[in-house]
Each structure stands twice: as structure tokens, then as C-alpha cells.
Chains A and B, each alone.
Chain A
């Protein structure tokens, strides 16, 4: 079209010379076709790619060594353990929450008689969360310690919102477990069906290997050393059993509401603690977290965990870049679907950057895409190397402590990053030895608790008469972060697994 318009422009002067009558006619004709007018402004100016891929990779490697290391941290624990309060207080102590917000939260929460939630309000933003006094969805914040740039995902502790918690934990490298030390509360959280247990297992199954345990509310038990030790003793074997290496688990006593032992262990409130505790503060421990190795040379993968209208034009999506690198101006494919979009800006921790590498939590502003094509759970990937779509696959699963055994055809929900879909165990292929992975029995009739098995999972249409939609999935061998799945049934997590092979 642009070509014709150009030609038309060139043609006009010569015509002008000949006759004005003819000219008018011609111009009318052409204007009818809208050729002479300036071409309509393009919907979006798609920025250009600045780096070649090899160069970008080199750049990324260089800066990875130089910069302070970034990592993401999910805050987990039983409901009312004080996760949001701890994070709220920590953000304030580190200067990430300004004085005005703090006083506003304090004033407003006191007004409705919920002054004890004032710190949590820093993260629990929605009206319903504040009214109910619980976190319902993941809150994303960031702060920096001496050597680390930490993205915090504050997970909901309530049992109802485990899907949201899974979405958060799948975006994290490390975990901060908050347990309530007050009498009876720790026990409730740690019992069967308590979230301390379930969250730990879930995070481990999603590939998180490092955990810091913050023993909270110690002020309510008069800073008793015995209580702290007891909790550590109870938790340690469970952590090992869940697959956390003892060298990668740290314990720290804190009192979130008072702000004791978060950044410093000074002040009057901490007097009793200082008598027996000489160890590092929470921030010291956070500073020692080791970011896992990032897979930057693999193809780009980014599951969408949130979609919102950003500033200016375009649609913003946020999520964690699982592997590969991404830069402004790059074209990305959205799966499932046939659409592509162009990245206009990349936001990391409220700053715009020209590129980003695996492991960072990004907010991308996308242009030349209809927002209808984007859905939470969709995958952004490089157009040259799209993620395969699967509606049936085999997986090796580890079955948790369940009441009702699993039989072929059992109805479950499959969780993969921020997406959950109905599925069934279409075939029980074999039960495996938990340690060696050897086949114990092929074609078992049932799978009982705490066993390991290889199964075939098929996605199911929701409802008796709908079509199934495949989801983007990759074998664990090809991409670790893409190959992890969790399986839940009737509000209970029954198994975790890795994808072995995609069947179609």
C-alpha cells in the first residue's frame, strides 16, 4: 500500500501541469481509495531489536558476573503465621515502604479495628483481603540486601488459595517459611492438613531447594529458647524427608510485628532474645542465599502469571522468565494460539531495561497483539522454538500421603505454573522404586500413598461435552522448569511429578 501511495504522490505534479479538470477527477478517485493521504499512523511503533542473539548472550554473561545477584523468594507458611506482616515490616525496615504508606495503613487498619494487620496491609491491597484479614493472592515486591536483589512473592496461606500459592512458588528460587511459635499455633500448622507441611512439599516439588525458616511470634512465648529449639527439632526431620538438604536449610528466630531480628537484633524488644541468640538476622541469611544456575542459552520460555493494562498503550503481562534471554523489540509467540507479539518494554523491579535473562521476574509490555489472545497460564516463547502443546503425556510421579488410592481414570486437577486444568490418569503404567526408579510392577491396579509411579495423564474437557485444549508443556529432560507438574484432587495435593514424554 505504501508503495502505491508513493507512486501516486510522484504522479501528481505531472498531472497538475496538464489540466486542472482531469487533475481534480484523478485526485478524487485516488482520495476515494485513501491513497494520497498520509498512511494512517501505525497502531504501535514496534521497536527494533538491538542485539544479535550471540552478542546478547555474551552481554548477559558478563553482567551476571558483575552485578549484584538477583533471586526470587516465595514466602510460605500456614495461614496467620504472619507472612504478610513479616514482609510488610521487612520492606519498611529496608526503606522500601515509605513512612506515609505506613501511617496510612496504620490509621486505616485501626479505624476498622484491625490494627494488628497494619503491616500486612502493605502487601494485601484489595478490599476483600483487608476485610477478611488474609492474603488471597500473590503479592509481588522487591528489595535489595547487600549482595542480593530479592523479588518477594508473598503467598496466601489459606488452604483455599493453594492454586495461587502454586502460581507464586513456581516463580521462585528460594523459600522463606514462616512458622507461628505461639502455643498451639505451630502444631496446627504442622499437623496433617496444615499448610506448613503442604507448602513445603509443594515448593520442593516445584524445584525450590533452599529454605529459610523464620520462627515468628517468639515474643508471644516470652522468647523461650526451648520453644525455638523444639520447633527446629520438629521441623528438621520433616525438611530432610521432603527433600531439602540440611546444609540448605537455615533457621532464624524473629518477631515480625515488633521488627526484632529482621534487619538488626538491637533495641529493647530484642533484649530477651539477645540473651541466648547470637546468630545472623533474617536479612543476613537472605543475603547468603545462593541463586541457582540459570539456563540462559536455552530457548526463551515465560509463563504468564498476570495480565493487566499497563501505562500507555499495549498490554502488560508479568511472569518469570524460566529460561533463555529476552530483549526489547523481540517477537514472541503466544501459546496456545497462533499469535505473536512484539515486546515494547521490559520492566524489572520498576525499572526499564533493554534485556533480561532467565530467572528474573518481568513485566513485559506487548504490542501488536489483541489482549484477548492473552490468558493467564499462556506461554510466551521464541517463535523459532515454540513449546510443544500436549493433551496427553507420561509422567513420573511421587504420591503424597493420601487417603483414597489413585486408580486409572481418577479425576484430578493438573497444575502447571499458573494454569490448572482438569485431567485424568488415563493409564497406570508402572509402580517404581522410590530410590532406584526401577519398575516394581507394571500395570498396577491402584497407586497407594507415598509410592512412586509412572503414569499417563490425559487432559480432560471440563464438563461432559466440551473440547479439550492442549497446554504448553515440555519434558523435564528438555527444560526442567517446564517439566514440573503438580496434581491435586478435591482440594488436596496428591502427587507431584515430572513430564517424561509428550504423547500428543
Chain B
């Protein structure tokens, strides 16, 4: 994303103009824009004119419209591609989809009148790449939103890691970038088990490898220089057989680029189950950690793993749930705060403010804050745990703290829980 213009005063009011460039930028915008914000973007609108004689003239006009957002819709490419993964192979779905497939739509009434559109007329903006978007925040720019802009405008991104999560007869192709995991394709080829006859099993296997190779060519941007690694992950030895097959097939076809990519980029990682959620295991495996140490998503994986480990070692130092985490923050106990971007997208500004305040409080006290992207597997898992968790610097007993809190300010606590309930 490119920052075209930024004007924010010290109170946080002002506007930012951004130019989205790829799928991930759409995701950033989705996280930046909240209900109530004013957004100005190019739009195409059908405008009707009634002439003096009464004839109706309808034309499509390209306009810049400013709307006050009332509804935000985001859909990633994967949603469309994975909904049709019927049993059996479907190699043609999602074929040839490249750069932008994510879509962001903003709906709301027009707030700046112009010559063609009345004030208050509704419009749905389709946010497109390479078209500038000006955002003015209704509640002002808070620290989390500003940080998000800073993060979004770092150049040089796109898919950084391609991962193929496979099991015997199944495979899921994923592309990981800083803030997103896209499942670009899934395939499943039925492989008869050995109980029948051995030849059917072998036949099924070779069909599986063949299909997998075709999809690999199509869905893994192996020639892309920005791609740091291609991960082949599976339980058992499937990844080795798959790798051998791909290498063999590449040399048979004499595909030099593929051969080079395979040699330089492929990392084989063991995982315990052939489901996409095992990507978390991939991200914390030593092979990957050493290679992607500084990337955001690897960091997320490591922190989440640390939280689970802490939960095993010392339950009193691993807390989760909004109420509990807030209590821990009040006691300056938070060493690392894990928070999902889902929570900042809360439509209720009060809720958002609460989380922003929490993040700021933790940062002030020298704690680390990791904002998880819910488009990543680790973020999804954090979302399952209420979306917020913390690793404490010293052990605190939840029950003791709750009792303290009850005694101290019973009234305040009830108010607090009421505020968090609606978005659960």
C-alpha cells in the first residue's frame, strides 16, 4: 500500500489517503475502516436525468464519492475457492487467479454532495487496487489505527511463504503473507487402502502425485523472487514422496526454473495431522523459525506457542478472556499481550476504545503487544480463545484476583462485564 497523503493533528483528527496494491492491502483497509468513518473513493454510479421534455436519460458516471460507512464487507479469494471442494479432485477451480481476488465493499449514505448525487443517497463503494482511498476516522485516529497504517505502507510484500499441507490423498495449498493465509486450493484424491489389492493402492497414489504436481505448478508462485520458502508439510513420509515426485517430474520436463526453486526454497516439515490448522506447527518448527524469524506471522506462531507452553508450566501466568486480561493489566502483570485484530474491528466504538486503551497501557509499562491477524491460522486459534490472552510476568491466581476485585469495586466490575458481553 502506498501512503498518498496524511494529515493527522495531535488530537487524532484528520485523514489519511492510501493506495491499495494487493489482497493484503484490502485486508488492512478492512481492519482500518470502521462503521461511522467517512471514506472517499472513486465510484461508478448510474445517474438519471430527466430533461425538460420528460425523457429520462440514464448514464454511468465516474465520480469521487464520500460516504459515511454503515456496512463493511470483506471476502478473501479463498472463500470462493474452498467452498466448492467437493470430494474428488477439482483441479480447475481457482485456476489462474492471481493478484487481487479479495474484495472490500463499503456501504453508506453520501455525506458530501456533488452535482450528480444527492446528500444522503446510499452508495456501495467497491474498493479497487490502484485507486486512492481517503479515510477520515469518526472517532479520530487512535494508536492502533495509526500503527496499522504504518505497518501497511511498508513496501515489498506479497506472498512470502507457500505451504502445501498434505496427507495421503489430500493436499491444501496455502499462501502466507504478513497478515494473511490464503488457502488457494484443496484437492483430495481417493486412494484405496492396501486391504483391497496393492496395485489399486499404487495406482491411487500415482494419480494423487500427478494431480498434486499439476496443482503445485498452478498454485505455487515458485518463480516469484519474493517467495522465501516453499513448505511441504505432512505427517508420515508423504512429504518426502511428494518432493521426490515433484523433483523427478521437474527434471523430466526440463523445467529449469522449477528445479532451481525446488533446490533453494523447499523446506520439508513434519506435522501431526493433514489439516490446515497444522500450519501453526509448521511456523514453530525450527527449520522455519530460523528462516523467517523476523516476519510477523512467524512471530505470532511463536508467541502463541509460548502461551500454550506457559499454560502447561504455570497456569497462573497464562491468562485469557477479556475480563481476566484487563484485570491482569490493572496489576501491571502483562509481559506479552496477545490480541486478535478481530477485537479492534468491533463495531461498538466503546469496545474498541477499551482494547486500544489496554494495548496502550501494556506498551507503556514496557510489555510487548502482538496483534494477531485473524486471517492467519494462529489468529484463528487465538480467536477461539476469546481473541485475547496474556503471558504474565509473575504468577497471579485468577480466583484470588477476582475475589479482590469483587471486594474493591463490585459495582465497577459488573459494568465492565456488561460492556464486553455484546460482542462476546
A interface residue numbers (CB < 8 A to B): 125-129, 132, 136-140, 160-161, 163, 305-309, 316, 318, 371-373, 375-376, 403-405, 407-411, 413, 420-422, 424, 426, 445-446, 460, 462-467, 488, 490-492
- A405/B192 contact (C-beta < 8 A), A463-B277, A464-B78 known: no
CB pair B79 A465 closer than 8 Å: yes
A and B contact pairs by CB, cutoff 8 A, 9 listed: A160-B236, A305-B193, A409-B385, A411-B277, A411-B280, A462-B172, A462-B275, A490-B272, A491-B272
**Bound Cα distance from A488 to B235, whole angstroms:** 14
- A306/B193 contact (C-beta < 8 A), A445-B398, A490-B272 known: yes
Known: A372-B87, A466-B276. 17 other contacts (CB 8 A): A137-B194, A138-B193, A306-B192, A376-B193, A403-B312, A405-B312, A409-B320, A411-B381, A413-B275, A421-B275, A424-B384, A462-B172, A463-B181, A463-B183, A464-B376, A466-B78, A491-B235
**Bound Cα distance from A489 to B71, whole angstroms:** 38
CB-CB < 8 A to A466: which residues of B?
A: 78, 82-83, 85, 183, 186, 276
CB pair A464 B374 closer than 8 Å: yes
Does B249 reach chain A (CB closer than 8 Å)? no
Does B196 reach chain A (CB closer than 8 Å)? yes
CB-CB < 8 A to B82: which residues of A?
A: 463, 465-467
A160 CB, nearest partner CB in chain B, Å: 5
B377 CB, nearest partner CB in chain A, Å: 7
CB-CB < 8 A to B194: which residues of A?
A: 125-126, 129, 137, 139
CB-CB < 8 A to B394: which residues of A?
A: none
Q: Which residue of B lies closest to A316 (CB)?
A: B196
**Bound Cα distance from A123 to B391, whole angstroms:** 50
Best-buried of B181, B194, B308 by chain A (most CB within 10 Å): B194
CB pair B88 A372 closer than 8 Å: yes
Does B311 reach chain A (CB closer than 8 Å)? yes
- A307/B192 contact (C-beta < 8 A), A128-B241, A467-B83 known: yes
CB pair A375 B87 closer than 8 Å: yes
A103 CB, nearest partner CB in chain B, Å: 19
CB pair A462 B281 closer than 8 Å: no
Kindly list the 5 A-B residue pairs having the minimum CB-CB distance in the complex, ordered from nearest: A491-B272, A409-B384, A308-B192, A308-B196, A404-B312
Does B380 reach chain A (CB closer than 8 Å)? yes
* Binary contact readout B133-170 vs A (1 if CB under 8 angstroms, 0 otherwise): 00000000000000000000000000000000000000
CB-CB < 8 A to B172: which residues of A?
A: 462-463
**Bound Cα distance from A411 to B195, whole angstroms:** 32
* Binary contact readout B358-381 vs A (1 if CB under 8 angstroms, 0 otherwise): 000000000000000011110111
Best-buried of B174, B235, B383 by chain A (most CB within 10 Å): B235
**Bound Cα distance from A347 to B169, whole angstroms:** 26
Q: Which residue of B lies closest to A408 (CB)?
A: B385
Does B315 reach chain A (CB closer than 8 Å)? yes
**Bound Cα distance from A309 to B196, whole angstroms:** 8
B230 CB, nearest partner CB in chain A, Å: 18
CB pair B275 A404 closer than 8 Å: no
B195 is contacted by which of A127, A138, A463 (Cβ under 8 Å)? A138
* Binary contact readout B281-325 vs A (1 if CB under 8 angstroms, 0 otherwise): 100000000000000000000000000110110010000100000
Of B30-38, B117-125, B197-205, B407-415, which stretch is located at the interface?
B197-205
A157 CB, nearest partner CB in chain B, Å: 13
**Bound Cα distance from A409 to B186, whole angstroms:** 25
CB pair A404 B192 closer than 8 Å: no
B26 CB, nearest partner CB in chain A, Å: 14
B249 CB, nearest partner CB in chain A, Å: 18
CB-CB < 8 A to B200: which residues of A?
A: 308-309
CB pair B308 A404 closer than 8 Å: yes
Does B190 reach chain A (CB closer than 8 Å)? yes
CB pair A422 B385 closer than 8 Å: no
B278 CB, nearest partner CB in chain A, Å: 8
Does B273 reach chain A (CB closer than 8 Å)? yes
Does B386 reach chain A (CB closer than 8 Å)? yes
**Bound Cα distance from A140 to B196, whole angstroms:** 9
B393 CB, nearest partner CB in chain A, Å: 20
**Bound Cα distance from A160 to B87, whole angstroms:** 24
Q: Which residue of A lies closest to B170 (CB)?
A: A462
B277 is contacted by which of A372, A422, A467 (Cβ under 8 Å)? A422
Best-buried of A371, A445, A492 by chain B (most CB within 10 Å): A445
CB pair A409 B381 closer than 8 Å: yes
CB-CB < 8 A to A307: which residues of B?
A: 190, 192
CB-CB < 8 A to A490: which residues of B?
A: 272, 281
CB pair A463 B78 closer than 8 Å: yes
Q: Which residue of A lies closest to B75 (CB)?
A: A465
**Bound Cα distance from A239 to B202, whole angstroms:** 39
CB-CB < 8 A to B398: which residues of A?
A: 445
Q: Which residue of B lies closest to A132 (CB)?
A: B237
* Binary contact readout B59-87 vs A (1 if CB under 8 angstroms, 0 otherwise): 00000000000000000101100110111
CB-CB < 8 A to A403: which residues of B?
A: 312
CB-CB < 8 A to A373: which residues of B?
A: 87
**Bound Cα distance from A126 to B205, whole angstroms:** 11
A216 CB, nearest partner CB in chain B, Å: 23
Best-buried of B202, B276, B381 by chain A (most CB within 10 Å): B276
A491 is contacted by which of B273, B277, B377, B381 (Cβ under 8 Å)? B273
CB-CB < 8 A to A408: which residues of B?
A: 384-386
CB pair A306 B312 closer than 8 Å: no
**Bound Cα distance from A466 to B196, whole angstroms:** 33
A237 CB, nearest partner CB in chain B, Å: 27
A127 is contacted by which of B88, B202, B275 (Cβ under 8 Å)? B202
Docked complex: B178-215 residues within 8 A CB-CB of A: 181, 183, 186, 190, 192-198, 200-202
CB pair A128 B237 closer than 8 Å: yes
Q: Which residue of A lies closest to B383 (CB)?
A: A409
**Bound Cα distance from A445 to B346, whole angstroms:** 25
CB-CB < 8 A to B277: which residues of A?
A: 411, 422, 460, 462-463
CB pair B311 A405 closer than 8 Å: yes
CB pair B78 A465 closer than 8 Å: yes
- A126/B196 contact (C-beta < 8 A), A464-B377, A466-B183 known: no
CB-CB < 8 A to A376: which residues of B?
A: 190, 193
A140 CB, nearest partner CB in chain B, Å: 5
**Bound Cα distance from A163 to B377, whole angstroms:** 23
CB-CB < 8 A to B237: which residues of A?
A: 128, 132, 160
CB pair A465 B311 closer than 8 Å: no
CB-CB < 8 A to A160: which residues of B?
A: 235-237
**Bound Cα distance from A488 to B281, whole angstroms:** 14
CB-CB < 8 A to A375: which residues of B?
A: 87, 190
A140 is contacted by which of B88, B183, B195, B280 (Cβ under 8 Å)? B195
CB pair B311 A407 closer than 8 Å: yes
CB pair B192 A464 closer than 8 Å: no
A374 CB, nearest partner CB in chain B, Å: 8
A305 CB, nearest partner CB in chain B, Å: 7
B86 is contacted by which of A137, A372, A405 (Cβ under 8 Å)? A372
Q: Which residue of A lies closest to B241 (CB)?
A: A128
B385 is contacted by which of A161, A318, A407, A464 (Cβ under 8 Å)? A407
CB-CB < 8 A to A488: which residues of B?
A: 272-273
CB pair A404 B311 closer than 8 Å: yes
A85 CB, nearest partner CB in chain B, Å: 17
A420 CB, nearest partner CB in chain B, Å: 7
B201 is contacted by which of A126, A138, A445, A465 (Cβ under 8 Å)? A126
CB-CB < 8 A to A407: which residues of B?
A: 311, 320, 385
CB-CB < 8 A to B380: which residues of A?
A: 464
**Bound Cα distance from A413 to B385, whole angstroms:** 17
